[in-house]
């Protein structure tokens, strides 16, 4: 199926992928197109209502995506986080 990947900044690219591909596999393909690692990608699509493509093990067809679907891509920049360790 052919998906349209729309970066929220306006850049649009088309991507050919199997309907049985997983969200995780899609993220790897997107990382090659946009040069952003999968962990920074947040994906969503319209299927009557906005759906978040969060479960990387689910197939694209299980989310109702089909040829011609538009996937919105948000690139996040996770900030540093603190870890507190307690020695006893």
Cβ atoms within 10 Å, residue 17: 19
Q: Which of these, 79, 4, 14, 75, lies nearest to 40 by C-alpha position? A: 75
What pLDDT shows up at residue 48? 77
User: Rounded to whole angstroms, what are the CA distances from 69 to 6, 62, 65, 82?
Assistant: 11, 13, 6, 39
Alpha-carbon Rg for the chain, nearest whole angstrom, is 15
Q: pTM for the full model? A: 0.81
Instruction: Return the pLDDT at 9.
Output: 78
Q: Running along the chain, 88 residues long, what does each successive block of 10 average in pLDDT? A: 90 92 96 92 88 94 93 85 81
| CATH code matching the domain that covers 2-75, chosen among 3.10.580.10, 3.40.718.10, 3.40.50.2300, 3.10.20.90 | 3.10.20.90
Hey, where are the domains in the chain?
2-75
Q: CB under 8 Å to 62, separation ≥6 — which residues?
A: none
CB atoms closer than 10 angstroms to residue 75: 15
């Amino acid at each position: 199926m052919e998906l349209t990947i729309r970066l929220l900044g306006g850049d649009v690219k088309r991507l050919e992928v199997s309907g049985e591909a997983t969200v995780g596999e899609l993220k790897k393909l997107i990382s090659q197109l946009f040069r952003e690692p999968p962990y920074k990608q947040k994906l969503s699509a319209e299927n009557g209502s906005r759906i978040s493509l969060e479960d990387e093990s689910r197939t694209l067809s299980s989310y109702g995506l089909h040829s011609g679907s538009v996937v919105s891509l948000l690139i996040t920049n996770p900030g540093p986080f603190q870890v507190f360790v307690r020695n006893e």
